[in-house]
């Protein structure tokens, strides 16, 4: 394998993981970002993102001289002695008006670097972008000597490094075979199945995969509600389903709904793509509607557990909230179902005191301003009328539940992740309520 000269534009979640992992594969990588302070921290191997193994890879890349950080896209491309051979675009594509992905930052970077690219350079769209973005990039570049490739990422927060270095597949799409093969060769050492296709198909793969996973999660949440009505056990039902190789065990755990940085954005974008193609994607619409309803259902479950009746008042009810991030092993609060449920509880008049291992009380963000955050899990339970598990942090299993039982006003736990051992809770004196049981 030849070491390639690579520039990565953007050092967010995808960009930093991509840069550090490519450097670990032996390539020479320069990562550029517009935030000078962030670049200074990265040069000291200080990684702001909570992601297992990422800080270690950054430190190794810096020490080996294969990874460096600079300010700006232009510098990232020109920092290599002979110019970058391959340029990864890993900049944000936030949800825009109507749910379509906003490509303003992508287009701005293309405009900025167009004249600096050496003939033969390959531009790689790594950001999640709508179908047609590769063609739009070609038009904006207006360079017949520069190729464009779509190479979607499939990184899960909390396991991103593992996902990059041990991928299920590598998808590379371009209307230029040589460019696609050059990009796929970067991952040759990984030994993963590679899908070489056209640009439009590659762009659609990421959306198709994430929308399918969202459907699976909405399905299992609906099934959990049905289990409650029929007296069945969702854990046994999903175990029986998961052994079917056509279905698999993943994404079969009920919860307060799906969220994060990808699924909400990608499902909305897919609806826009479908609408533009004059296709009524009813299944996907139902998936999103089911997810919205799930959050309301969780609130009603908490309401019933606390008041003993449907529609009971939560005014001035004190709730200990465990978990604010959208999933465990990340500090990401974007579109967190935990925060969505917390917001609905606040609207209902409840007082919320929350604990999350990744959210510190001295570093609060605007999206959790209505919640009192503490740094001690036992403080979150003090004088609470109920405790609510909203994120599946493993450490919640090992709390001293007897100590919590003596601290609460009412020994009630609503476990929206089915995370805890109900017998342990009951021995400690708690009434446990889960999903689908």
Q: Which residues are catalytic, by number? A: 262
| Dihedral over Cα of 97, 275, 247, 291: its sign | positive
Q: How many whole angstroms separate alpha carbon 269 and alpha carbon 259?
A: 14
Q: How many whole angstroms separate alpha carbon 6 and alpha carbon 82?
A: 11
- Closest to 179 measured CA to CA, from 202, 156, 213: 202
- With 0-12 / 13-18 / 19 or more C-beta atoms within 10 angstroms meaning exposed / middle / buried, residue 111 is exposed
Spell out the residues 6+ positions from residue 361 whose beta carbon is closer than 8 angstroms to its own. 373, 374, 375
**Exposed e or buried b for every residue in 233-254, given b needs 16+ CB within 10 A?**
ebbebbeebeeeeeeeeebbbb
């Amino acid at each position: 394998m030849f070491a390639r000269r690579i520039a990565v534009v953007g050092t967010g979640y995808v960009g930093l993981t991509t840069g550090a992992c490519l450097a670990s594969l032996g390539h020479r990588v320069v990562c550029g970002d517009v935030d000078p302070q962030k670049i200074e921290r990265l040069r000291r191997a200080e990684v702001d993102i909570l992601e297992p193994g990422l800080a270690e890879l950054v430190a190794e890349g810096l020490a080996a001289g294969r990874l460096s950080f600079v300010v700006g896209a232009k510098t990232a491309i020109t920092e290599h002695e002979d110019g970058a051979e391959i340029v990864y675009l890993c900049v944000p594509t936030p949800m825009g008006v109507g749910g379509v992905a906003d490509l303003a930052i992508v287009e701005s970077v293309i405009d900025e670097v167009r004249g600096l690219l050496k003939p033969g350079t390959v531009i790689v769209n790594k950001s999640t972008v709508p179908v047609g973005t590769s063609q739009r990039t070609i038009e904006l570049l207006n360079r017949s000597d520069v190729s464009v490739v779509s190479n979607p990422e499939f990184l899960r927060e909390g396991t991103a490094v593992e996902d990059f270095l041990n991928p299920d597949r590598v998808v590379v799409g371009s209307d230029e075979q040589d460019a696609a093969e050059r990009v796929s060769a970067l991952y040759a050492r990984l030994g993963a199945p590679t899908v070489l296709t056209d640009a439009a198909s590659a762009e659609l793969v990421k959306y198709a995969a994430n929308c399918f996973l969202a459907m699976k999660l909405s399905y299992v949440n609906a099934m959990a509600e049905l289990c409650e009505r029929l007296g069945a056990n969702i854990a046994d039902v999903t175990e029986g389903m998961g052994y079917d190789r056509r279905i698999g065990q993943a994404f079969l755990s009920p919860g307060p709904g799906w969220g994060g940085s990808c699924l909400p954005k990608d499902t909305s974008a897919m609806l826009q793509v479908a609408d533009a193609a004059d296709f009524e994607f009813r299944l996907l619409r139902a998936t999103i509607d089911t997810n919205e309803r799930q959050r309301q259902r969780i609130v009603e479950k908490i309401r019933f557990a606390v008041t003993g009746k449907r529609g009971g008042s939560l005014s001035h009810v004190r709730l200990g909230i465990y978990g604010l991030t959208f999933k465990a092993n990340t500090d990401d609060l974007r579109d967190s179902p935990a925060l969505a449920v917390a917001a609905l509880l606040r609207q209902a008049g409840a007082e919320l005191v929350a604990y999350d291992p990744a959210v510190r009380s001295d570093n609060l963000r605007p999206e959790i301003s209505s919640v009192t955050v503490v740094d001690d899990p036992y403080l979150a339970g003090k004088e609470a009328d109920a405790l609510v598990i909203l994120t599946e942090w493993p450490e919640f299993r090992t709390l001293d539940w007897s100590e919590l039982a003596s601290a609460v006003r009412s020994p009630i736990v609503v476990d929206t992740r089915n995370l805890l051992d109900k017998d342990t809770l009951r021995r400690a004196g708690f009434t446990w309520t889960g999903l689908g049981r």
